[in-house]
Amino acid sequence: MVDNILSAIELISAAAGSPESWDLALGGLVNLLNGDHAVMFGTESDMESGAIVARFGIDERDIECWSTPEAAQLAAPFNNNVPIGRAFASSELMPDRDWQRSVYYNELVRPLSGFYSVAVRQARSDCSFLMVVCRERRHGPFAEPEIDTMQRLLPHITTAVELGRRLSAHDHSTARSDCNAFRRCRRQKNGLAYQSALRSAPARAQPAAHLASGLARNTRPRVPCGHIRQGSERDGCRRPACTRRSLQPHATRKRGRNVARERSSAR
């Protein structure tokens, strides 16, 4: 008996760091209390909607009916009368004869081959759950020692659920922090890359832009010839070095030659 209790506590403690392990923890409770199957509702909203967050000894298709609005309406009167903070047996909520005739039993519990149950419920802002261990009618109701064992396990279950939620909240907070840090690094990286591209741009880029703008307006661009000459030599181009004469438009150079000829003929 002691070994089974220690094994159940160990499984419950392991579920704090792994929510998927609650199925195994329920299996430990079923083995300890001589039950047939067990279910766990995680929060008050889960109990209202009939959503089961962990189960043992029940197939998923067998609990699909628990998630319907009709099931939530049937379970509401029972959930409202469930004691909080202590273990209890199903016979405490309703006599066996009335329980057998109830719509809730015939529609939801009977298809799972259950009748008797022992459960614990916790309803706090930081920790809320309902855990139920069931067995068939032919196995008889849960005795006082089994209810007492469930009560002794309640602190361990409460601690595991509370710790699991804190770990989950910490993981979400860490994930958001990592995401924000990644976005900041990406923005900084893009900014540094843009500044690096500006610094590594060729020195001839800006003079060339002014040159094109000046030729388009048919005016002499104010571009230092040294920049073009240095750029040409650096790029290995074979075009002649830039001079002020070569930068003048063709019409201006032709008019200058005609004026020179007229002056020479006049002499």
Structure confidence at residue 165 (pLDDT): 85
Closest C-alpha among 140, 141, 64, 139 to residue 107: 64
The C-alpha R_g of the chain, in whole angstroms, comes to 42
C-alpha distances out from residue 27 to 43, 120, 140, 171, Å: 20, 16, 20, 27
Closest C-alpha among 61, 46, 43 to residue 112: 61
223, 246 Cβ separation under 8 angstroms: no
Tens digit of each residue's pLDDT, the chain (267 residues): 788 899 999 999 999 888 889 999 999 999 999 999 999 987 766 656 667 889 999 888 877 778 788 888 888 888 888 899 999 999 999 999 999 999 989 988 998 889 999 999 998 877 889 999 999 999 999 999 999 999 999 999 999 999 988 887 655 455 455 455 545 555 565 555 545 554 554 544 444 444 344 444 444 445 454 444 444 444 444 444 444 444 455 555 555 555 556 565 655
Backbone CA torsion sign across 252, 254, 256, 262? negative
User: 217: number of CA atoms within 13 Å, CB side?
Assistant: 9
DSSP for 206-235, please give it. Answer: HHHHHHHHHHHTTS-----HHHHHHHHHHH
Domains of the chain: 2-167 (3.30.450.40), 205-266 (no CATH)
Residues whose CB falls within 8 Å of the CB of residue 192, separated by 6 or more in sequence, listed in order: none
127, 161 Cβ separation under 8 angstroms: yes
Closest C-alpha among 38, 35, 39 to residue 52: 39
C-alpha distances out from residue 14 to 58, 103, 157, Å: 21, 37, 11
32, 86 Cβ separation under 8 angstroms: no
Closest C-alpha among 121, 56, 130, 118 to residue 90: 118
DSSP for 46-70, please give it. Answer: HHHHT--SEEES--GGGGGGGGSHH
Strand segments, DSSP code E, in the chain are 37-41, 54-56, 87-89, 116-123, 128-135
Structure confidence at residue 154 (pLDDT): 94
* Dist CA 118 CA 132 (whole Å): 6
Structure confidence at residue 194 (pLDDT): 46
Residues whose CB falls within 8 Å of the CB of residue 135, separated by 6 or more in sequence, listed in order: 34, 35, 36, 37, 114, 115, 116, 117, 142
Structure confidence at residue 258 (pLDDT): 59
